[in-house]
Amino acid sequence: MHAASKISDCDAEVVFSVDINNSANEVYRYNFPNTNQQSRNIGSLTAKEINKFCPNLVMMSPPCQPFTRVGLKMDVKDPRCSSFLHFLEILPSLTSVSFILMENVMGFENSEMRKIFTDTLNQCQFHYREFILSPQCLDIPNSRNRYYLLAKKLSDFSFGSQNEILTEFPASYIPNVSVKAKSLLPYLEELTEDEVSRYLLSEKTLAKYWRVLDIRQHFDTSSNCFTKAYSHYAEGTGSIFQHCTSGKAPPLPCDLPDNEILAQLKPLKWRYFTPREVSNLMGFPTSFRFPDSISLKTQYRLLGNSLNVLVVSNLLQLLTKE
């Protein structure tokens, strides 16, 4: 969210940031050392405390686990909704807040939590619009469908209605954040052979999961969503990159011995996208870095829980300039 505000044209100053995840906070402070950042539960914040900062914009990404398709779908009964519910409880007392940008997973739009959210916005006299957008709508070669809500008090929006969920930016809006290209090539790092070896799939993973992996090459114009389990679980957590620029996996019979499978696949150098490459596809600026103390596994987890910076920066501009 902070990175999105930096590259948008809304001239935002971040006056307060809060998160409960220690690793996320460490990365945040490393990249934005001069921000008033606190590691605490949002449920502990009072309206009086927030009002001291006189914020006119709140950007938030509440916990998504209560609404994910692979979760228990406990919705408002999930304890992880408590911080969001607390925020909605104090929202009527946040006197300076005129804009809200909220992000969550697909599925939130059908939740009871969404109804409580929009009911509260109506009670507080906010106008709002809902979206389900993927970076592909900005020609970024990565799929990451997410729910977004924009809300403002000052006036109603000139597009859409509160009775629909938009799947594209309004036709009248021209995104002003350029992207690298439609193919994966400009998003990739130039790696040495030693660096490539760090990201290669293990022989065990290759032999067991080669049939279900989503393999991409530099000329491809899409890639699957990277989740927090990327590199930890093989199936359904994100695309795999073929580092060898020529050739592709031949048809292999299901009963082929592991050693023969490996003989066919290892020369192709199937590897995970690096954290930098995932960051590039998610729109983070080149200045964004992880401190050395953050493990590779944690880097992937944090990125998988993050959002596309370019999509959010354009939504932020749409919210504040429209």
* Co-location of 241 and 118 in the same domain: no
Q: Is 288 among the domain residues? A: no
Q: How confident is the model at residue 157 (pLDDT cuts 50, 70, 90)?
A: very high
- 19-24-28-29 Cα dihedral, nearest 10 degrees: 90
**What pLDDT, on a 0 to 100 scale, did the predictor assign at position 35?**
94
Catalytic residue from among 10, 54, 64, 124: 64
What's the farthest any 2 CA atoms get from each other in the chain?
A: 67
DSSP string, 282-293: TT--TT----TT
Q: Is 141 among the domain residues? A: yes
The tally of domains found in the chain comes to 2
- Amino acid 114 reads R
pTM of the model: 0.95
pLDDT at 20 over 80: yes
Q: Among residues 57, 167, 168, which one has the least CA distance to residue 102?
A: 57
Residue 54 is encoded by which pair of tokens? 């006189």
* Co-location of 70 and 17 in the same domain: yes
Q: 10 catalytic, yes or no?
A: no
* Co-location of 161 and 194 in the same domain: no
Q: Is 88 among the domain residues? A: yes
* Co-location of 85 and 150 in the same domain: yes
Tens digit of each residue's pLDDT (9 = 90 or more) over 244-301: 998 888 888 888 999 999 999 999 999 999 999 999 999 999 999 999 999 999 999 9
Domain that holds residue 254: 190-273
Residues of the chain above pLDDT 70, percent:
98
* Residues 6 or more apart in contact with residue 21 via CB below 8 angstroms: none
Mean pLDDT, rounded, for 149-173: 95
Report CA torsion sign: 94, 18, 3, 303: negative
